[in-house]
Structure 1
Amino acid sequence: MEREIVLTEFARVINSDRYQYTESDIFLMEHMEDKEAVFDVFFRKTEDGGFAVVSGVQEVINLIEILNSTGEEEKRMYFSKLIHEEQLVEYLSKIKFTGDIYAMRDGEIAYPNEPVITVKAPLIEAKILETPILNIMNMQMAIATKASRVTRAAYPVQVSSFGSRRAHGFDSAVAGNKAAIIGGCTSHSNLVTEYKYGVPSIGTMAHSYIQTFGVGSHAERVAFDTFIKHRRNRKSNALILLIDTYNTIGIGIRNAIDSFKACGIDDNYPGIYGIRIDSGDLAYLSKKCRAMLDEAGLTKAKIFLTNSLNEELIRSLREQGVCADTYGVGDEIAVSKSNPCFGGVYKIVEIDNEPVIKLSEDIIKISNPGFKEVYRIYDKEGLAYADLITLVKNDSDKEKLVNGKDITIRDEKYDFKFSDLKEGSYSVKKLTRTYVKDGEVITDEYEKLFDVLGSQKYYLESLEKISAERKRLENPHKYKVDLSENLIKLKYDMIKTIQSEILKDDSRKK
């Protein structure tokens, strides 16, 4: 039996679908490989009709680093086993990314149909990145967006991401916890996430730890005493005792209080101490335990709550007066349980400086053509008022916007839905940043993405600029995302041209 093949980092670049390479062979045979293509990464809708949180851009740029740093022989090793066309193997063995990548940064708040990432590169270079990019972005944005929903429901109580064991594989656990932090979680439990991204991991204890000391109240007390004895002087000196192994009120909380007192742990303890409840009626039990802790003089003892929590359950618990200092959330965030498929797509919008468009029987699937970028408009109070998607070149609305002039933005379908913005009444921020130019990574922008807590800070600051009604977890007030006048004209002129061709074809058939 052959040993399992060991994959190198380059396997991430070819974590792809076959058709992208089938098409690349055709492009090569037709001498189309040097045509400059522009592809947009965007999503069409979210779970609640609101926003999504960007996460994964750092790993996308890392794909470019991997592609460009991998040697010809290593590339040939992979492609000679996977590709049957010798000329394509030769081309791919020498391929490097020579184009540009533009993106919103990790932690940005994005809305449907906005280009989150734009790839502008020779056709084959851009084409083969489709699945690797979507594989990264769909997973991370699903988790970051779910974390945002959960943490908004819990605020101001903190949320820890505890879902590694339920995540869909290694990368999903490691990068998923990073995405959860960006989306607002204050902590996580994954060691590799800490090692790779530098965000400290935390942990409490398992029921099995308590059971290893025997069965019943005495064994639980010994387990608690032993835990405190060995952990109180460690660097990570949080003392959180799991109290529901046998009976939360009858045994667990009483043993926890006795252990804390016997070991000299009280409100003067310099670290975090407290209890965790993982089952039962969390609202009832937490209130009972809070009262017992306070009565014992342990007023600074923290209460951690876990047990298949999500934003709806957390909101319900809060309505019931739950006593909680931290919610530990596992699979609901780790797999974005209520919306596990994020739905990001990668669509061509321009080829050799000529815009292209995709039509569909489904209106939502009609793409916005051309090389574009996104601007966020803020009102006088500093709240986000609307986003405007513009063409990069030859766009009069873009020029008005960046120069702070009078501008009218309108709905692309309904002329009567418009907003007149006067000079001095608004401010604007460009959301689209340059991360790769002519195949070279822009170091200053890229390095910011490695600061995960910095990305979280950016997200939280952006969130403060979204009005409360647009942050509702259910039926949020619709946020304006408009197209510039030039983009609207381009889009609908192209639609009319295609429709006229269809009518001509129909008349010929008759």
Structure 2
Amino acid sequence: MKDRQLLSEFANVINSDRYQYTESDVFLKEGMQEKVAVFDMYFRKTEDGGLAVVSGIHEVIKLIEVLNSTSEEEKRKYFSLLIHEEELLEYLVKLKFTGDIYAMRDGEIAYPNEPIITIKAPIIQAKILETPILNIMNMQIAIATKASRVSRAAHPTPVLSFGSRRAHGFTSAVDGNKAAYIGGCATHSNIVTEYKYGIPSVGTMAHSYIQTFGVGREAEKESFDKFIKNRRGENNPLILLIDTYNTLKIGIQNAIDSFQDAGIDDSYEGTYGIRIDSGDLAYLSKKCRELLDEASLHKAQIVLTNGLDENLIRALKEQDVAVDSYGVGDAIAVSKSNPCFGGVYKIVEVDDKSVIKLSEDIIKISNPGFKEVYRLYDKNGLAYADLITLVDGDKDKKLLMNDDTIELMDENYDFKSVSLAGGEYTHKKLTKVYVKDGQITKEYLKLKDIKNSRDYYLKELEKISTERKRLENPHKYKVNLSHDLKKLKYKLINKISKQIKGEI
């Protein structure tokens, strides 16, 4: 049992629910393993009814890299203890991914029911990736989207992701901080995230550091002096935590004295300032700003922490808070107000035949067929609508490619439609090819540059109108099905409806 706890990267590939392998046993015994299936990973709704930020594609493609490079010997080590059906065991030991993966890139802005990832592969290959993919994507999109909300509330003041200790485990802390960075956070505090992704981490001191020097005014002053003495330098922020005993009567006075005693002033080339982690942050920050300015420490920064989220940050801004950056913990680290993102993985085609899932809950009815997503922009360069089309033979897609006049129609209300004349819009294909015939494409290399993904997100966010990115009741963004896709969907629905009624 002890050796089983030492997991290799391949464990990420088989981080699955048992039913995926139970089904695979049936497929294999029935000779169905070569049937080519198409699965879509998408989500049905967001916390606020608005946008989501894609993160996790990098790790999903890494699964394929690991699956295809892992030796049969190592695969057998895992599967021999988990799979008791001999035929399935031998199949899985030799399994490599030979299909295709299409996806939006990390940093893309996405909306409900849009395929974020599409897998086209032999059925068992696609089926066993379901839980590993959802495990990655649900966590990372939840955090990236929450980081987007918080950073939009704080804008233009930067937000720092400080929630590793509250994250749900190692991967959530490490990859979650990466997702938070893509979603708009300026930086983070986790050193493994820095090691893995090259995103610089920050952090200065906790209350326990100050308490190590004793109790009270003199002990706190000594802790500040020693910190500045040993940490001063252009690349080391000197941010002193001032609320251990009393923010206004002790902490801020000690901070000012320590800075002045060390010759730290506005000529200092590095970053210096204070952090407040409790109390009335609006009141205390403004009082501290006054005292810092009176001491001619105008460049001293004020960092605010203490259970912050987008709502508290907006309230602080309404009170003219004095702040240079916000440190946000569990609100981002576990997407506290919406911790379960709810992404799903649904089959939409088998051997070129479209399939659909119906439900008593309208929101759970899937969109059939092999699809891709396009974003249309108006004359001002703002995102106007997204269009989901069929990959092959779609008339609306052809109109887009030719920049012809195109009609966008609401799926549920035919009278809600708009016609965009050629020349009045531009478009961009959001769906990219990351794996083709089992081979990882060059698009994957772009995902390794996490800063590039963050920059892409921020650039795309500028193309979303103010009304559509407000935090409460955002103006609904149009996500339309092409005419051919809508026709296909309702053809399948009508076929099943007739069966239910006994007509066929």
Query: TM-score w.r.t. structure 1 length?
Result: 0.98
Q: Structure 1: how far apart are the matches of 2:177 and 2:450?
A: 11
- In the other structure, the counterpart of 2:209 is 209
What letter corresponds to residue 362 of structure 2 in structure 1? I
Amino acid of the structure 2 residue aligned with 1:504: G
Question: Hey, what's the Cα distance between the residues in 2 that align with 1:122 and 1:366?
Answer: 24
- Equivalent residue, structure 2, for 1:273: 272
Compute the displacement of 1:412 (Å).
Answer: 1.2
Q: 1:2 to 1:312 in 2, by over 3 A?
A: closer
- Structure 1 counterpart of 2:212, one-letter code: T
- Tell me, in whole angstroms, the C-alpha distance in 2 between the residues paired with 1:479 and 1:132: 30
Counterpart in the other structure of 1:36: 36
Within-5 A mapping of 1:91-240: 91-233=91-233, 236-240=235-239
**Distance in 1 of aligned mates of 2:276 and 2:359:** 51
Corresponding residue of 2:325: 326
Task: Give the Cα separation in 2 of the matches to 1:43 and 1:62.
Answer: 22
Letter in 1 for 2:8: T
User: How do 1:207-356 and structure 2 match up within 5 A?
Assistant: 207-233=207-233, 236-356=235-355
Structure-1 separation of matches of 2:128 and 2:91: 13
Deviation at 1:5, TM superposition (A): 2.8
Report the secondary structure of 1:284's partner residue: helix
CA distance in 1, matches of 2:397, 2:22: 38
Equivalent in the alignment of 1:398: 397
Q: Give the aligned partner of residue 502 of structure 1.
A: 500
State the SS of the aligned residue for 1:176: helix
CA distance in 2, matches of 1:215, 1:206: 15
Q: Who is 1:492 aligned against?
A: 490
Secondary structure of the 1:274 match is strand
Counterparts of 2:94 and 2:298, CA distance in 1: 65
Q: CA deviation at 1:4?
A: 5.6
Tell me if 1:450 matches 2:424: no
Query: How many angstroms does 1:490 deviate by?
Result: 0.2
Separation in structure 1 between the aligned mates of residue 210 and residue 218 of structure 2, nearest angstrom:
10
Work out the CA distance in 1 between the residues paired with 2:178 and 2:3.
Answer: 33
Cα deviation for residue 10 of structure 1 reads 0.5
SS at match of 2:412: coil
Structure 1: distance between partners of 2:37 and 2:491: 21
Q: Name the SS for the 1:82 alignment partner.
A: coil
How far is the alpha carbon of 1:225 from its aligned partner? 0.4
Partner Cα separation in structure 2 for residue 197 and residue 407 of structure 1: 42
Question: What residue number does 2:50 align with?
Answer: 50
Report percent identity of matched pairs.
72
SS of alignment partner, residue 240 of structure 2: strand
1:3 Cα offset (Å): 5.7
Aligned equivalents of 1:3, 1:81: Cα separation in 2: 12
| Paired AA for residue 385 in structure 1 | Y
Taking the aligned partners of 2:463 and 2:153, their CA distance within structure 1 comes to: 17
CA distance in 1, matches of 2:236, 2:349: 56
Q: Helix, strand or coil: the match of 1:428?
A: strand
> 2:473 is matched by which residue type in structure 1?
N
Distance (Å, rounded) in 2 between the aligned partners of 1:35 and 1:3: 37
Between the aligned partners of 2:229 and 2:307, the Cα distance in structure 1 is 30
1:43-88 Cα distance to aligned partner (Å, 9 max, x none): 0000000010000000000000000000111111111100110000
Specify the alignment match of 2:419 in structure 1.
420
CA distance in 2, matches of 1:4, 1:242: 43
Structure 1 residues 219 and 310 mapped into 2: Cα distance closer, same or farther (>3 Å)? same
CA distance, structure 1, for counterparts of residue 119 and residue 445 of structure 2: 19
Partner of 2:473: 475
- Displacement of 1:2 in angstroms is 4.8
Equivalent position SS for 1:459: helix
Instruction: Give, in angstroms, the shift of residue 298 of structure 1.
Output: 0.2
Task: After TM superposition, give the deviation of residue 204 of structure 1 in Å.
Answer: 2.0
| Superposition deviation, residue 502 in structure 1 | 1.1
AA in 2 matched with 1:297: S
Q: Residue 479 of structure 2 aligns to a residue in which SS?
A: strand
Whole-Å separation in 1 of the counterparts to 2:107 and 2:125: 27
1:5-24 to 2 correspondences below 5 Å: 5-24=5-24
Amino acid at match of 1:263: A
Give the superposition deviation at 1:321. 0.8
Query: 1:236: Cα distance to partner?
Result: 3.2
SS in 1 for 2:346: strand
Aligned residue-pair number: 504
CA deviation string 1:146-176 (max 9, x = no partner)? 0000000000000000000000000000000
Letter in 1 for 2:87: Q
Question: What is the correspondence of 1:69-108 to structure 2 with a 5 Å cutoff?
Answer: 69-108=69-108
* Structure 2 counterpart of 1:365, one-letter code: K
Residues 421 and 78 (structure 1 numbering): CA distance in 2 closer, same or farther, change over 3 Å?
same
Return the alpha-carbon distance in structure 2 between the equivalents of residues 218 and 413 of structure 1: 69
Runs of at least 5 residues in structure 1 that lack an aligned partner in the other structure: none
Runs of 4+ with deviation above 2 angstroms: 1-5
Equivalent residue letter for 1:144: A
* Matched residue, 1:377: 376
2:156 match: secondary structure: coil
Aligned-partner Cα distance in 1 for 2:237–2:24: 55
Distance of aligned partners of 1:62 and 1:163 in 2 relative to their CA distance in 1, 3 Å threshold:
same
Any idea what SS the aligned residue of 1:420 has? strand
Separation in structure 2 between the aligned mates of residue 34 and residue 236 of structure 1, nearest angstrom: 56
Where structure 2 has 5 or more consecutive residues not aligned to the other structure, the ranges are none
Supply the distance in 2 between the matched residues of 1:167 and 1:402 (Cα, whole angstroms).
44
Taking the aligned partners of 2:115 and 2:3, their CA distance within structure 1 comes to 43
2-structure distance, mates of 1:5, 1:484: 49
Amino acid in the other structure paired with 1:333: I
Displacement of 1:331 after TM fit? Answer: 0.5
What one-letter code is carried by the residue in structure 2 that aligns with 1:218?
A: E
Structural RMSD (CA): 0.9
Instruction: Please give the residue correspondences for 1:351-366 in structure 2 after superposition, counting only pairs within 5 Å.
Output: 351-366=350-365
In 1, Cα distance between equivalents of 2:235 and 2:220:
22
Following superposition, the deviation at residue 403 of structure 1 comes to 1.5
CA distance in 2 between partners of 1:97 and 1:2 (Å): 30
